[in-house]
Amino acid sequence: MKYMFSLFAEETGWQDQTPEQIKSELGKWTEFGQEATDRGAFVAGDALQASSTATTVRIPPAGERTVTDGPFAETKEQLGGFYVLDCKNLDEALEYARKIPLRSGAVEVRPIADFSELTEEAPAAREGARY
């Protein structure tokens, strides 16, 4: 089963680190990604640009959709990146989540919906979220 790992953390701190410290931190992320790849679990993953680059489309139950600058939630922690890993079960997914080298923050682990039994459409449509 595929799981989405949403990584939430404060965006501050990188500017205070030396290039050597940043290289060391990035090495931890490379090691995590390599382990997931070597074990055949890695599907996708990437870092996101700062939340100040986000644009949110709000969709009310009735009325017009609005576009605003900034992230969806106004909190200290922001969505900073994600992984999609193919895991045997939730226990394996949580094992990976514990290894993600966030210095602080949270990792939300959520199964990806599988609609393959309901439709013969293209894989991208089957694996999409409800909306």
- 8 A C-beta contact, residue 8 and residue 110: no
48 conformational bin, left if phi > 0, alpha if psi -120 to 50, beta if neither: beta
pLDDT, averaged in runs of 10, over the chain (131 residues)? 91 81 91 97 91 79 82 70 94 93 87 76 49 39
Total structural domains in the chain? 1
What CATH number is given to the structural domain containing 59? 3.30.70.1060
Evaluate whether residue 131 is within a structural domain. no
* Residue-wise pLDDT tens digits, 58-95: 778 888 888 887 766 556 778 889 999 999 999 999 99
Enclosing domain of residue 103 = 2-126
In a domain, 63, yes or no: yes
Cα 123 from Cα 63, distance rounded (Å): 32
